[in-house]
């Protein structure tokens, strides 16, 4: 029994560290190159890392041209930074877009975000708690809140758990992967992927 538990724990840890191997992430340099083409409300998911703070990935939301909104870690407050700064750790990224997004929804997302910009990072075991947020929770909450105000409640959390992790967005049927241009290796021109 003890060996079974140990093996199960090891499989769990490996799943966290490796993540979903069939996902197509983009190089951070390609994401920066495409920054002007991203739309308000696009969700950026960083690949899981090996240190404990990045085991679950990380997420941010596009709030204007080349600008990402983020709540990075404990003790820090929501902030906005340019996409080049946000990607400086060179982790690969997947970009997701709500399938039904339009200009009205984008404006309401930004308006709603203003209500939560003063919040600090807080790990909540109730994703509806708005006293503080973690990176993926604020994105999940914004989409949920705006959709309720439009009489069309959506839930971007694919497993509908008590915590929404960045990778939960990847499996959401309400989001689609954004295809981007890639920088050709060794050249400054672009190639459509």
Return the pLDDT at 15.
45
> pLDDT band for position 191 (50/70/90)?
very low
Q: For residue 138, give the nearest of 114, 161, 159 by alpha carbon.
A: 114
Task: Please state which CATH number belongs to domain 2-192.
Answer: 3.90.1720.10
**Confidence band, pLDDT 50/70/90 cuts, at residue 57:** very high
| Residue 127's pLDDT band (cuts 50, 70, 90) | very high
> Is the pLDDT score of 165 beyond 80?
yes
Residue 74's pLDDT is 84
Q: Would you state the structure tokens that stand for residue 71, as one six-digit string?
A: 């709540």
Which band of pLDDT confidence, cut at 50, 70 and 90, is reported for residue 20?
very low
pTM across the whole model: 0.83
In 3D space, the residue among 63, 153, 59, 165 whose CA is nearest the CA of residue 117 turns out to be 63
pLDDT of 193 over the 60 cut: no
Q: Which H or E element spans position 192?
A: strand 190-192
Instruction: Please say if the pLDDT value at position 8 is more than 50.
Output: no
The predicted structure's pLDDT at residue 128: 92
Interatomic CA distance for residues 66 and 60, integer angstroms: 12
For position 123, what pLDDT does the model report?
Answer: 87
pLDDT at residue 183, rounded to an integer:
81
Residue ranges per structural domain of the chain: 2-192
Closest CA to 56 of 94, 116, 13, 21: 13
> Residue 21 pLDDT more than 50?
no
Mean pLDDT of all residues belonging to the chain: 86
Confidence band of 29 (pLDDT split at 50, 70, 90):
very high
Return d(Cα 138, Cα 160) in angstroms, integer: 15
């Amino acid at each position: 029994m003890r060996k079974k538990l140990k093996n199960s724990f090891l499989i769990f840890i490996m799943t966290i560290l490796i993540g979903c191997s069939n996902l197509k992430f983009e190089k951070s340099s390609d994401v920066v190159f495409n920054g002007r083409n991203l739309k308000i409300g696009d969700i950026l998911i960083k690949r899981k890392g090996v240190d404990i703070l990045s085991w679950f990935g990380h997420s941010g939301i596009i709030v204007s041209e080349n600008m990402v909104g983020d709540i990075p870690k404990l003790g820090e407050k929501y902030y906005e930074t340019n996409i080049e700064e946000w990607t400086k750790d060179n982790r690969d990224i997947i970009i997701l877009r709500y399938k039904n997004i339009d200009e009205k929804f984008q404006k309401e997302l930004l308006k709603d975000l203003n209500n939560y910009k003063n919040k600090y990072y807080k790990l909540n075991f109730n994703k509806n708690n708005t006293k503080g947020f973690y990176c993926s929770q604020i994105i999940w909450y914004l989409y949920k809140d705006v959709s309720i105000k439009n009489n069309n409640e959506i839930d971007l959390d694919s497993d509908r758990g008590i915590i929404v992790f960045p990778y939960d967005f990847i499996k959401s049927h309400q989001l689609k992967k954004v295809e981007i241009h890639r920088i050709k290796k060794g050249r400054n021109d672009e190639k459509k992927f």
